[in-house]
Amino acid sequence: MVALARSRRLPQSAEEQFTADVLAGLTAAPKRLPPKYFYDAEGSALFERITELPEYYPTRCEMQILREHARDLAGLIPQGSALIEFGSGSSKKARIVLGAAADKLAAYVPVDICREMIEQEAAELRPDFPQVKVLPVTADITQMFPLPGEAKAAAVRVGFFPGSTIGNFEPHEAAAFLRHAGKILGPGARLIVGADLIKAAEVLNAAYNDAQGVTAKFNLNLLARINRELSGTFKLASFEHHAFYNRERSRIEMHLASLKRQKVKVAGEMVDFRAGETIHTENSYKYSVESLGAVARGAGWRPLAAWTDARDYFCIQVFELVEERPLRAAE
């Protein structure tokens, strides 16, 4: 939970929320920043470059699983469904689902925190899938957001949560998110989740410490963004990207380490750094097919299918919402 340490007033705008979250994170011990703020236009573009790096296998593995099982996946999507993608970014993966199930989908609703990204993707998707209504929603998926009317009117809503975005949540938050998704999607819902799998530490460490330094740039862009939007005075050369696999907790941790003792001004506040002190910017949890299935089951979903790639690096799982306890006895 983010404490509003410096204000009794609730933040109103996205900018006020960003300011409150950044100040709360930088005055906490240890210091931390929420990973959702990586994705301004600059950060979203850097993330796209990450997905193409030789060391960063998740995107390629997931695309390959989706292509290989596209027909099976389409078979699990009911006629007249709306596909709701949580944290869509570029809609590359949705294109595979749309390609296989366009005749069954009434609407595609990409939901993302980066408006520039989804508006552009929507404009590019429409001519390719004229029979599917593309209805982008700009929202923070960790908060409640209303679905467009056409999606609510669809026969069934199918959630699509690819990319191992679920890995950014603490395990208990992942469970809360899946439960929340069930509430948003409603009766009969299906959910397609993509998650990065536990594997050799060397493979994981390489994926978050690429030779070209794009991941370091992506991490440091958070400070650049604070400089741009919150009148920050971070010197990017005085911070260093650290990423490592924490085996006990099955997660990659990303940090920004201060290379020296320094003071930084952010939104009018002074923040002190000790030499070597870090800001914890991201956790990327890794699951097994079973551990993800257990989290989903605990959140009210029943597994329908699970697929992995040849090396078992990544998995796609499909779930069905378990009916709420019926109010009347079965006929």
Q: Quick check: 190 and 223 in contact, CB under 8 A?
A: no
DSSP string, 106-155: EEEEEEES-HHHHHHHHHHHTTT-TTSEE--EE--TTS--PPPHHHHHSS
> What is the Cα–Cα distance from 187 to 275, expressed in whole angstroms?
53
Report in angstroms how near the CB of residue 59 gets to ligand AVJ at its nearest.
9
Whose Cβ is closer to ligand AVJ: residue 88's or residue 164's?
A: 164
Q: How far is CA 47 from CA 8, 174, 327, in A?
A: 35, 22, 47
- Single out the segment in contact with ligand AVJ by CB under 6 A; choices: 73-81, 130-138, 157-165, 269-277: 157-165
Report in angstroms how near the CB of residue 66 gets to ligand AVJ at its nearest.
15
> What is the Cα–Cα distance from 311 to 315, expressed in whole angstroms?
10
In the complex, which residue's CB is closest to ligand AVJ?
Answer: 284
Considering the rule CB under 6 A, would residue 171 count as an interface residue with ligand AVJ?
no
Which residue shows structure tokens 């939970």? Answer: 1
Considering only residues 44, 168, 250, 278, which one is a binding residue for ligand AVJ as defined by CB under 6 A? 168
Whose Cβ is closer to ligand AVJ: residue 284's or residue 317's?
A: 284
Closest CA to 11 of 24, 1, 20: 20
> What is the Cα–Cα distance from 311 to 202, expressed in whole angstroms?
15
Distance from chain centroid for Cα 274? 31
3-state helix, strand, coil in the chain (%, to 5): 40, 25, 35
Which string of x and - marks every residue 36-75 that binds ligand AVJ (by CB under 6 A)? --------------x-------x-----------------
Whose Cβ is closer to ligand AVJ: residue 24's or residue 214's?
A: 214
Which string of x and - marks every residue 254-283 that binds ligand AVJ (by CB under 6 A)? ----------------------------x-
Whose Cβ is closer to ligand AVJ: residue 87's or residue 300's?
A: 87
The torsion of the CA quartet 206, 207, 210, 214, rounded to 10 degrees, works out to -160
- Single out the segment in contact with ligand AVJ by CB under 6 A; choices: 1-9, 159-167, 222-230, 307-315: 159-167
Considering only residues 19, 88, 91, 165, which one is a binding residue for ligand AVJ as defined by CB under 6 A? 165
Sign of the torsion formed by the C-alpha atoms of 49, 55, 58 and 61: positive
Considering the rule CB under 6 A, would residue 163 count as an interface residue with ligand AVJ?
yes
Whose Cβ is closer to ligand AVJ: residue 69's or residue 93's?
A: 93
According to CB under 6 A, which residues from 214 to 233 bind ligand AVJ?
Answer: 215, 218
The amino acid sitting at 141 is I
Q: Which residues are near ligand AVJ by CB under 6 A?
A: 50, 58, 163-165, 167-168, 208, 215, 218, 282, 284
